[in-house]
Amino acid sequence: MSKSLPRFFCLSLTGLSLVSLTACGSLDHASTRRIRVVTPYKIDIVQGNFVSREQAEALKQGMSRVQVRDILGTPLLVSIFHADRWDYVFTFQRQGVEPQARRVTVFFAGNSLTRVEADPLPSEAEFVASLDSGRKAGKVPVLEMSEESLKATAVTAAPVAKPLPPLPASYPPLENGAN
């Protein structure tokens, strides 16, 4: 009986090990299901220059480069090989939503705008509405002060200080002339 106990223990341990390894293989599928349910937070990625429909409509033929830059901002791409072309590229990536990409290209002849090529552009209001990712906003605080709090924080006038004496007409030399 003393020889059969260690042998039984070894067989039991081997069997338990095999069952455990088999269970690990089946847990792999369960863990991937769990990962699909719990995913890490991915931030929204906004890159480039957003150009709205209103900005594109404000561009007129004959505008100078400075005027175009004032309306659209600094271009994302300026090529030394295409000196008369500015490219404004915008991409927006959000988790669970197909990425958005838009391009606006302005062409110049010398210093004046000749034409604009653009993808369909959203208005500013449409773009701002698309940024709302469904997060619930809390209660918006009232941004007004009551009359009592205005009176409590009122600043009293500081006493008028005496005027400073006039500046001297000349200053002494910076270096001693006896070198």
Extents of the domains making up the chain: 45-127
CA 152-154-157 angle, 5° bins: 140
* pLDDT tens-digit series, residues 84-135: 999 999 988 887 778 888 999 999 998 999 999 999 998 888 887 777 655 5
More confident residue, 11 or 70: 70
CB of 122 within 8 A of CB of 134? no
3-state helix/strand/coil string of 103-138: EEEEEEECCEEEEEEECCCCCHHHHHHHHCCCCCCC
Q: Dump pLDDT digits (tens) for 23-52.
A: 655 555 555 555 566 777 778 888 888 898
CATH number for domain 45-127, candidates 3.40.50.720, 3.30.1450.10, 3.30.470.20, 1.10.150.130: 3.30.1450.10
Q: From CA 105, how far away is CA 147, in angstroms rounded?
A: 53
Q: 3-class DSSP state for residue 53? A: helix
Token readout for 173 is 């030399």
Coil, strand or helix at 68? helix
Q: Which of 134-138, 154-158, 169-173 has the highest mean pLDDT?
A: 169-173
DSSP codes of every residue in 6-43? HHHHHHHHHHHHHHHHHHHHHHHHHHHHHHHHS-----
Burial class (CB in 10 A: 0-12, 13-18, 19+), 93: middle
Q: How many helices (H) and strands (E) does the chain have?
A: 5, 5
User: Nearest-CA neighbor of 119 among 157, 146, 88, 145?
Assistant: 88
